Structures are given as C-alpha cells and as structure tokens.
Amino acid sequence: MEFTTFKKGRYEYGFIDNELYLKVFYHDIQLGGYFTNKNEARWNDKKYKYSILTEIDDKYRDTDGLFQFSIVYPELRTFNVWKQKNNPLNEPKVIKSDHKPCNVTGYQYIKVLADRKDDLCVWGGLCLSDSDALIDGCQGLTDWYFAIGYTGVMWAKQVTIPSNGVGVNVVSLWVRASKKIIYEPCITSLPVMIQNLQIFSFIFIFLYE
C-alpha cells in the first residue's frame, strides 16, 4: 500500500482514501526494536518508534463528536478505517463475564480490510490493552491482535508485531485531520502580503510626490 505523505513542522500527514490524516503512531520493529515500556509507547519522537498518542485531542473530532482513525499495515497492503468516541488511551479494556466481544464506545465501521472474528478477538476499534501491547483491537476479549505499542520481545516465535492475524514488522496509526491545515500557510501569509503591499504603496507615493 502506498499513499502520499508530507511534513508540516514536526508532524507528518498523509492521504488515505483521499482524506487527510495525521500520523500519530509508527513502529518498525526491525529498525527500532520493541518499546521498552508502555509509557514510552504513549509518546516518543524516535523515527522508528514514533508515538504522539497523547496529542490526540478534541480538535481532531468530527462534527459528530467522533475520531476517525486508520490503522495501516504496509507489508500486507491493507488498512482499516473507522470511527470511535475516545482516544484509544482513554478507552479501557472491558472483559465481560459472558466473554462476548463488543465494540469500543461509538464504534462506526467505514472500511475494514484487515478483519478478525474468532473466539479470542473480534475487530471493533482500539482500546487499552492488558497484554504486552499498549493498545489492541480485541475489545471484550482476552487476545491482543491489532497491537499498537508492542513491548514484548517475540510474538509467534518471531520478532514481529501482531496485526489482524500474522506478525508484521511495521504498523502505523493515523487520525483524520482538517484539510484547513494545507491552506493555513496561504491564509496566515495574507496579512503579511497586505502589509507589504501597503508599505510598497507608501514608498511609491512618497517617491512620486
């Protein structure tokens, strides 16, 4: 899977299905190793162990009050897009007494290409994990596929990250952002342009007189 990305300041943005997203998490376990603990997985500015999960705040909510996320597995050339009410850091894992799967709060299906439905994990958004990962996508059940912030040394006898079913080397998480970000430089530079034009006009009139 390939999509266009660009940098703005210290942030990276990308287009997924023609919608603008901010990269909030990126983990390449081969180049960056595993996270040493869950606190490191919450916020870290390293290239191959990158996380700004703590910066997901209300300005990224849609008009319906929900966040729109995308989890991307480039090696599998697949991704999921969905909505949920809470930052995954604020969505606790809930395992019911009947051990039935459930969705995270406010979950809305948009596009799910990396799915999982079995007795231990049913995809339904991201929540805090009680496993070797900070976050997983198995709300209501005990397993921890769709791992974000993997702190373990090995999974499935390999140095990989649990995806929807197989181990991967790379996973990224994105939150949808406003396209106003693209136009902000033009908007913010307009007052400067007007000011420069006024100065130029003053100089021209002064010289002409």
* Same domain? 91 vs 24: yes
* Same domain? 55 vs 114: yes
* Same domain? 150 vs 192: no
Give the whole-angstrom CA distance, residue 41 versus residue 173.
12
Is residue 108 within 8 A of residue 84, CB to CB? The reply is yes
Using CB atoms within 10 Å of the CB of residue 160, give its burial: 0 to 12 exposed, 13 to 18 middle, 19+ buried: buried
* Same domain? 102 vs 154: yes
* Same domain? 142 vs 190: no
Tokens linked to 207: 């010289």
Residue 182 pLDDT greater than 80, yes or no: no
* Same domain? 9 vs 40: yes
Backbone angles phi, psi at 168, to 5 degrees: -125, 160
Tokens linked to 195: 């000011």
How many domains is the chain partitioned into structurally? 2
* Same domain? 23 vs 87: yes
By three-state DSSP, how is residue 49 classified? strand
Tokens linked to 18: 């023609």
* Same domain? 84 vs 100: yes
Domain that holds residue 186: 181-209
* Same domain? 99 vs 195: no
pLDDT single digits (tens) 84-117: 999 999 999 998 777 788 999 999 999 999 999 9
* Same domain? 47 vs 27: yes
- 136 vs 182, more confident: 136
Where residue 183 falls among pLDDT bands split at 50, 70, 90? low
pLDDT single digits (tens) 113-153: 999 999 889 999 999 999 999 999 999 998 999 999 999 87
* Same domain? 75 vs 133: yes
By three-state DSSP, how is residue 46 classified? coil
* Same domain? 157 vs 196: no
pLDDT single digits (tens) 30-75: 999 999 999 999 999 999 999 999 999 999 999 999 999 999 999 9
